[in-house]
Amino acid sequence: MIEHELLFLGLLKDGPKHGYEIKRLIEEDMFPFVGLKIKSIYYPLKKMEKMGLVKKDSGREGRFPEKFVYRLTKKGEAIFDHLITESFASIERPYFNIDLSLYFLDYVDAAIAKRKLRGRILFLKRILKEIRKLKGSVAPGKRHLQIILDHDQDLVEAEIKSVSRLIQVLQ
């Protein structure tokens, strides 16, 4: 839940938002850069409301259904500050889906493994191309998005290098 708390509190940091706006920001603005998917926005928001991190206000415009607007509380701001600084220092062992396959690599014919790994490199190169394209479309004022894309590019390039090296050592 810590990632979700950081996500929701961060989105509310620059001002109150209604649920649909939060959902849109996550799906359209953030997903291409952060890759986080959220099944439900209302469950985490309700939980954070109970914890006193966000406050929900309701309002109605004309005949439209009632809308709920969420905003940060002082406690929510303090928790956000704590979570964001902690996340910079948080280091977990990265897990890649390929790791499990590599653990059992001795049970796979080398020719098949090489073919599959070459396919992985082609896929990674497509991802790299998309990252570079996305970098070219980021508005100049969105430095944080450029930083994320630089980081992603470094990771994908490292994965390509690692898989290429593995192909070379397979016999």
Angle between helices 110-137 and 143-169 (to 10 degrees): 160
Rounded to whole angstroms, how far apart are CA atoms 79 and 155?
29
Structure tokens at 14: 């620059």
* Percent of the chain predicted with pLDDT > 70: 96
Contact by Cβ (8 Å): 48, 2: no
Last residue of a domain, one of 89, 108, 126: 89
What is the per-residue pLDDT across 93-145, written as a single tens digit (0 to 9) for each? 776 788 889 989 999 999 999 999 999 999 999 999 999 999 998 888 888 89
Rounded to whole angstroms, how far apart are CA atoms 159 and 52?
42
CATH code: domain of residue 32:
1.10.10.10
The whole-number pLDDT of residue 29 equals 83
Does one domain contain both 81 and 133?
no
Domain around 156: 98-169
Task: Tell me 105's DSSP state.
Answer: G
The whole-number pLDDT of residue 67 equals 81
The whole-number pLDDT of residue 1 equals 53
Q: How far is CA 80 from CA 16, 88, 96, 104, 128, in A?
A: 15, 13, 28, 41, 32
| Residues sharing a CB contact under 8 Å with residue 103, sequence separation 6 or more, in sequence order | none
Does one domain contain both 78 and 102?
no
Which has more confidence, 38 or 127? 127
Does one domain contain both 78 and 112?
no
User: Mean pLDDT, to the nearest integer, of 143-168?
Assistant: 94
Q: What is the pTM of this model?
A: 0.73
Q: How many domains does the chain have?
A: 2
Q: Which residue has the tokens 């929900």?
A: 56
Residue 33, CB-side half-sphere exposure with 13 Å CA sphere: 19
> What 3-state class would DSSP assign to 5?
helix
**In this model, does residue 60 exceed pLDDT 70?**
no
Which has more confidence, 31 or 129? 129
